[in-house]
Structure 1
């Protein structure tokens, strides 16, 4: 596949994203989402959604349905309460990865948990990134998984967060139902760097901080880069930063 693709690094700036701003939600969409649609910006590789959300205390997404989607949630600040129709519930916080497989159909809600911490009211928002990739097959059994990886992030290296790829078998990574995709995170201090995987499709997102991308220059909070038929570049933090990287060996067709 790689030989048929033109090598390209497409940098997307934070201010160019679609935005949804309502009383309780500030959401930035890297791809077409909801009422925001652009026919030339529907996905990259297998990644359909990369939403950068800030939710006010005591608010959140009421119960709503999903189907045939692998949904990974990564919290940067605050805590998020998840509840779903399969009986799973949990509080997601920084360093705790979460995956929900919608499969044949699932209902869930996500709420800012900060208002009830320690039995008191707090005014902290919850900031998280939610990412959707398509599964290998439709109609799988809905599922839920969460995994604490905060300690692994202390190294500053790329840490597998969620993967369906064989090369991550046996590693501490949440399993997703797509054998061609994997998500990594790195939490870096100034001067630390990581090397990107080499894959037909990569998506690099900087949810906070600032980095330099080899060959492309500076990326700040909310910036992203979409790689096609190229990889191996180094990403170096210029201030404390967190990055999320999808490695994908297939793309959505049709």
Structure 2
């Protein structure tokens, strides 16, 4: 009886998320729409690596900024975007003229690529992740031995029904913290803060990664993310350690969880 009640509760949550996603996709096509997660905002007037010249012909009344839903692009187009960014960065390094405007696109692409890489390792596709599915760790038998240790599921991942976006982070304590506190946060709000670029900031504002997608020591949380979601990071000592490692490399002060 308890299991049936819990499953109905989970299904209701999934249905609500699906409804929000449909509304978000519809509203994102209209003028004046707000910034959304997993969306790349392309300003044709800006000479940045994300200024991909797509066949976009704005209609009258549409604003100057085109939106490209990166995860809904074809595999070939996504690779093209990443290659363009890679080439632009390399040219900047060679010519000693690396624009600071590239910092935000690079950090945003890094985390998107890391999540995509881990999804592929788990046998998940973008199409599957876009739907309201249950994590394969909730439905499958033994976990494939090819998964790196950092992506092996924890007890909570196997016992709490959830969407697999949580499984993509290589830091196990972050995954467990997200699962333990499912009732305390809005998944939409958290995903926006983790993965989107902020239009009103000159610094990275979400989750960053500087190494291999599966390596927990390569992950960093921005100071803005640390301040806003401090209660969550209390349960994630590994990501605080790796964050401070990367901050020290840049000569920045470490972040400290207050008592």
TM superposition score category, shorter chain reference = under 0.3
Q: Which has the higher helix share?
A: 2
Of the two structures, which has the highest relative contact order with CA contacts closer than 8 Å and spacing of 6 or more? 1
In terms of fraction of residues, the more strand-rich structure is 1
**TM-score, structure 2 normalization:** 0.25
**TM-score normalised by L of structure 1:** 0.25
Question: Which structure: larger Rg?
Answer: 2
